Amino acid sequence: RKEVEQDPGPFNVPEGATVAFNCTYSNSASQSFFWYRQDCRKEPKLLMSVYSSGNEDGRFTAQLNRASQYISLLIRDSKLSDSATYLCVVNLAGYALNFGKGTSLLVTP
Amino acid sequence: EPEVTQTPSHQVTQMGQEVILRCVPISNHLYFYWYRQILGQKVEFLVSFYNNEISEKSEIFDDQFSVERPDGSNFTLKIRSTKLEDSAMYFCASSLGGGDQPQHFGDGTRLSIL
């Protein structure tokens, strides 16, 4: 069973649309959760940490459901520059980050 | 904004040769990491380093791999005898603390083994 699972997409949405990505993780002992974005052949860049109470950063909202082992990311008012691969990332309890394969987003004019 | 820097950006090496990848973590960070990403696959953890010793390593990080912090700023990954399957993008990362602290990634070294 994969540790972190994401729908690979691609999600093709028009500018201004709202889009949501989901992620599930297999280990209930996981402690920390993040969303990173990765542009083609570039490094992962931290988008936001995900907290149990849910958190928002501008157009981005992240939610965590520990009971269902489920993480989500909502992007409102999509911009062309949001086109990227979105990586769901989980930390068990130590130092290693466990990455999902990512969900590809393409925002079109 | 402070950033993690990596050199070289691209390294081409013959199979069986040794290679050293270099990283300068963010200056006040205490935890350092190496990850790799084979083309088309997910990012995979290799090793973490804190207080001048390895704190955690994955199954990928076998005896062919080693890490070192030779001075106060550099953090290196050495692969002793490279194999074709070592071809990947190697990312260095650093964080202020462990566990729930976000890790910040360098822009990577593309390693090509011929």
pLDDT digits (tens, 9 = 90+) for B84-108: 999 999 999 999 988 788 999 999 9
Q: Looking at the DSSP assignment, which residues form a beta bridge with residue B40?
A: none
The burial class, CB within 10 Å (0-12 / 13-18 / 19+), for B24 is middle
Find the CB nearest B56 among A94, A98, A100: A94
Distance from CA of B93 to the nearest CA of A (A): 10
- Residue B2 has a pLDDT of 74
Q: Do A95 and B48 touch (CB under 8 A)?
A: yes
* Chain A residue numbers touching B45 (CB-CB < 8 A): 96-98
- Residue A1 has a pLDDT of 57
Q: What is the 3-state secondary structure (H, E, C) of chain A?
A: CCCEEECCCCEEEECCCCEEEEEEECCCCCCEEEEEEECCCCCCEEEEEECCCCEEECCEEEEEECCCCEEEEEECCCCHHHCEEEEEEEECCCCCEEECCCEEEEEEC
Cβ-Cβ pairs closer than 8 A, A with B, add up to 57
For testing contact with chain B, the best of A4, A36, A43 (most B CBs within 10 A): A43
- Residue A2 has a pLDDT of 66
* Residues in chain A, pLDDT under 70: 1-2
- Residue B56 has a pLDDT of 93
Kindly state the tokens that stand for B8: 């070289």
Amino acid sitting at position A75:
I
Q: Do B33 and A95 touch (CB under 8 A)?
A: yes
* Chain A residue numbers touching B106 (CB-CB < 8 A): 43
